Amino acid sequence: MRLDPILPKGKLLDFRKMSSGLVKAMSDTVKAGQRQMQSYPPQPATLGPRYRRTGTLRRSWSSDVESGMNRIVGVVGSNANIAPYNRRVQGKEQTPVFAAYGWPDVFDLKKSVEKQLPPRLRRAVKAAAV
């Protein structure tokens, strides 16, 4: 007696399409995270009209995606050489005053990534199904 599996002809997934889709999903997610961290809350009236924001903290944020060796790594980060106060404003050590003004912190970023990345990855895999 012989059992032959019933398999569809051809490939189940287009691996090139899936790979590029996964990289795009990661790239879209880290770019969204970068935009989130670059957004400034409304300026408090208590600072007065003469206080001018410079945008330095916004410019300190960047994102990058690296792929290869069977992995995809996305990074959203702030350069402390550009904005040395970034840890107190948006980092793990965010002070209560900046939280009260509505500055997003790295924990907000983590929540956003955890919410946005899985559906993007599922769509990429689904689109690669042949």
CA dist 99 and 79 (Å) reads 20
pLDDT computed for residue 114 by the predictor: 97
Mean pLDDT by 10 residues, the chain (130 residues): 75 89 98 97 83 92 95 96 96 95 96 98 92
pLDDT computed for residue 107 by the predictor: 97
pLDDT computed for residue 29 by the predictor: 98
Can you give the pTM of this predicted structure? 0.85
pLDDT computed for residue 60 by the predictor: 97
Angle between helices 15-38 and 106-128 (to 10 degrees): 160
CA dist 32 and 38 (Å) reads 10
